[in-house]
Structure 1
Amino acid sequence: MNLAIAVPRDNGAGLVTATGQIAKRAFLKFVRSPQLMILGTIQGGLFLLIFRYVFGGAISTPGIDYVNFVVPGFITGGVMFNAMYTAAGMAEDRQAGFVARLRSLPIPRSAVLIGRSLADSGIQIWGLAITVAIGFAVGFRLHDTWPAALAAVGLLIVFSVAFEWLFLLIGMLAGSAQAAQGLGLLVFPFTFVSSAYVPVSTMPSWMQGFAENQPVTAMIDSVRTLTEGAPAEALLGHPAAYFVVRALLWSVGVVAVFAPLAVWKYRRG
């Protein structure tokens, strides 16, 4: 007589467990070698100092001090600069074979990208705190309520989570961390051709259409109106709610486009 013996099947870690472990690894890796984000923060700080003290006197921002105009752009641009860590980290993991090993494990494939995105978003919050501190150090001051300022911080976190997916894709397309940084530079025209450092109205007419209708400008103007209130709204010509809605729509759009592409690229290897 033959006896059938049931052997328990190892289904591997669940989505939450796997996501948590991958996020923990990515965060600890950053703690041990935070040089890339530190360099990005320093680079952004240098841009702020140059525009604050060298070019600021020549740039007209009626109704609002230039330092209060430029710091929201500096903070939002810092999110983009710091996201380079995501692309470089993912490229490094692929080059080292870590991502290939994860594919061979019985874990949900989405856990790899979600875990990485969560960890890097947490790291972004650390970088955001530093850039905000630098902004206050050079003279930035709030002219709206603290709840509005906290809403601006929340929007920046949403924005960083959305763009993590773009930089995850860049990291998987690149062959090395250095190549990922090079590809990431293709994103930075969105920061410079925006309302970050000068009013869009001062740009050439052929450039204004792009500058006004791109995600970085929408987020910068959201932060600017939420932190500076009525003077910023008067300068930009719309209330804060107008820019907040646009920024949220852009964030959803970025996730809708780049999250599926990142998952597709991860599955293809």
Structure 2
Amino acid sequence: MSVLAYEGTALLGRQLRRMRNNPGLLILTQTMPISMLLFFGYVFGSALAMPGGEYRSFLVPGLLVATAANGIMTGMFQAAQDVHRGVTDRFRTLPISRAAVPLGQALADVVVTAVGTVPFLLVGYAVGWRIEGGALEAVGAVGLLMLFRFATTWVGIFLGLLTRSEEAAGQLGGATFMLPLLSNAYIPTDGLPGWLRTVAEWNPISAVTTALRDLFGNAPVPEGAAWPVAHPVAGSLVWCAVLIAVFLPLAVRRYAHGKR
């Protein structure tokens, strides 16, 4: 095992213990998607053209991806918390890789997300959602979801390292709630005005959501969509690669050099 992998695994344990000691945030992040599934599924479902049960099957992948996109918020808040409480400065004095600490945070976030996905899927099953595709496609959908969470967490870590206070990180993180609203996570985009549909379909959340719906067999790929949505698996992988390639080195560099 490489030094970075060993140190990242050790700091993964630190992040998991940290989350365990903050059960309020953990419970909120795990129960919010279930609450939204019940609310959107039974309230909005009755207002849309598709039947309620069909809408809930449409909605489950969207909420999974919206939750994964919240990696921006959690990554930002935890990174900012460490910076402004002096934890980051203490880690910088240790003889460890500068990538180990943010890597441990990103991996811990993925582990917690994976665990929290299980009760959400069980509730989804209870309200009528089903995996209509094959087992391998379903496993691929979950893997793609975790990869997207990993990518968005790096975005959050970088932004958290830039913030001037924990309060600013919390406020900026709350603004990420708008991202799924500008996508196909909750409603189809084919009824949107042309310019707004283009914005929504080039949102990474739309590509990943469409990929999950396709892999789970819940909805076909829409016709006439922008390239990331028309080729959702490839588009999702490209978006994840771009986010990781851009924000991972930026986050590690910012962590290594501190505030300027």
- Once the two structures are superposed, what CA deviation does each residue of 1:197-228 show, in whole Å capped at 9, x if it has no partner? 11001223221011011210000000011112
Conservation of the 8 A alpha-carbon contact between 1:194 and 1:217: yes
State the Cα distance separating 1:135 from its structure 2 match: 1.7
- Once the two structures are superposed, what CA deviation does each residue of 1:98-150 show, in whole Å capped at 9, x if it has no partner? 11011111111111111221122111212222322232222211211122111
Instruction: Report the equivalent of 1:225.
Output: 214
1:130 aligns with 2:119: yes
In 2, Cα distance between equivalents of 1:237 and 1:141? 26
Instruction: Report the equivalent of 1:3.
Output: none
Correspondences of 1:104-123 after superposition (within 5 Å) = 104-123=93-112
Correspondences of 1:1-269 after superposition (within 5 Å) = 14-61=3-50, 65-81=54-70, 83-228=72-217, 232-233=219-220, 235=222, 242-269=231-258
State the Cα distance separating 1:235 from its structure 2 match: 4.7
Instruction: Report the equivalent of 1:6.
Output: none
The 4+ residue runs of structure 1 with deviation greater than 6 A are: none
Q: Which amino acid aligns with 2:25?
A: L
State the Cα distance separating 1:84 from its structure 2 match: 2.7
In 2, Cα distance between equivalents of 1:138 and 1:77? 19
Unpaired stretches in structure 2, ≥5 consecutive residues = none
Conservation of the 8 A alpha-carbon contact between 1:26 and 1:119: yes
SS at match of 1:54: helix
In 2, Cα distance between equivalents of 1:35 and 1:84? 16
Q: Which amino acid aligns with 2:56?
A: V
Unpaired stretches in structure 1, ≥5 consecutive residues = 1-12
Range moving further from structure 2, 198-207 or 174-183: 174-183
In 2, Cα distance between equivalents of 1:249 and 1:236? 20
Range moving further from structure 2, 132-141 or 163-172: 132-141
Whichever of the two has the greater Rg, that structure is: 1
- Once the two structures are superposed, what CA deviation does each residue of 1:133-169 show, in whole Å capped at 9, x if it has no partner? 2322222112111221111001101111111100111
Q: With the length of structure 1 as denominator, give the TM-score of the two structures.
A: 0.86
In 2, Cα distance between equivalents of 1:46 and 1:267? 39
Q: Which amino acid aligns with 2:109?
A: D
State the Cα distance separating 1:177 from its structure 2 match: 3.5
In 2, Cα distance between equivalents of 1:112 and 1:254? 19
State the Cα distance separating 1:173 from its structure 2 match: 1.8
State the Cα distance separating 1:245 from its structure 2 match: 0.5
Change (3 A) 1:111 1:257: same
Q: With the length of structure 2 as denominator, give the TM-score of the two structures.
A: 0.89
- Once the two structures are superposed, what CA deviation does each residue of 1:6-57 show, in whole Å capped at 9, x if it has no partner? xxxxxxx942332222111111111221322321333332322222111112
Q: Which amino acid aligns with 1:113?
A: P
Q: Which amino acid aligns with 1:228?
A: G
In 2, Cα distance between equivalents of 1:147 and 1:18? 32
- Once the two structures are superposed, what CA deviation does each residue of 1:78-101 show, in whole Å capped at 9, x if it has no partner? 112355332222211112211101
Q: How many residues align?
A: 254
State the Cα distance separating 1:60 from its structure 2 match: 2.6
